[in-house]
């Protein structure tokens, strides 16, 4: 895959990286073939495909789901530490002062992994500015 994309525009390197990241959660050859067969050729379509997949994780809905986490990362005034994001999720998105819920475990953030990366200081950033766009 690296070889076939070597002469493509710069966005293609990001495309390859995102695809390889998505392989992390593949546990069978059939699943791998399905993903490869359905790969879109451009970055925007790939973003959409990833979003479609990660935004529907049912177990995250209680905390607002992946869209909420990505929103917090995109619009915070400075990069947020993963522990700060977890605490933010404990406040219901339509919440009020009296409705805070438990802080979720850190693994919940793994669902955003294809589009988000952890820095050395524990803050989470988007893998590329184009994700926000």
Give the Å distances, CA to CA, from 93 to 11, 51, 90, 115.
Answer: 34, 19, 9, 21
Task: Decide whether 1 or 106 has the Cβ nearer to another protein.
Answer: 106
Residue 24: exposed, middle, or buried by beta-carbon count in 10 A (0-12, 13-18, 19+)?
Answer: exposed
d(CA 72, CA 68): 6
| Footprint (CB under 8 A) of another protein, residues 18-37 | none
Task: Decide whether 29 or 97 has the Cβ nearer to another protein.
Answer: 97
Total binding residues for another protein by CB under 8 A?
27
Pseudo-torsion of CA 80, 81, 85, 86, nearest 10°? Answer: -170
Are the beta carbons of 85 and 119 closer than 8 angstroms?
Answer: no
| Footprint (CB under 8 A) of another protein, residues 65-124 | 67-68, 70-72, 74-78, 80-81, 83-84, 87-88, 91, 93-97, 100, 103
| Nearest distance, CB of residue 131 and another protein, angstroms | 11
Task: Decide whether 77 or 120 has the Cβ nearer to another protein.
Answer: 77
Tokens of 81: 């530490």
Among 39, 51, 126, 127, binds another protein (CB under 8 A): 51
Contacts with another protein by CB under 8 A lie at: 51, 55, 64, 67-68, 70-72, 74-78, 80-81, 83-84, 87-88, 91, 93-97, 100, 103
């Amino acid at each position: 895959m690296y070889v076939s994309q070597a002469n493509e525009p710069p966005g293609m390197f990001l495309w390859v990286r995102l695809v390889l990241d998505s392989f992390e959660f593949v546990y069978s050859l059939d699943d791998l073939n399905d993903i490869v067969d359905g790969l879109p050729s451009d970055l925007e379509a790939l973003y959409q495909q990833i979003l479609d997949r990660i935004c529907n994780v049912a177990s995250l809905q209680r905390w607002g789901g992946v869209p909420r986490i990505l929103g917090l990362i995109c619009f915070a005034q400075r990069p947020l530490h993963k522990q700060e994001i977890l605490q933010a999720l404990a406040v219901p998105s339509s919440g009020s002062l009296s409705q805070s819920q438990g802080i979720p475990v850190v693994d919940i953030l793994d669902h955003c992994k294809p589009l988000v990366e952890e820095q050395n200081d524990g803050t989470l950033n988007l893998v590329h500015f184009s994700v926000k766009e």
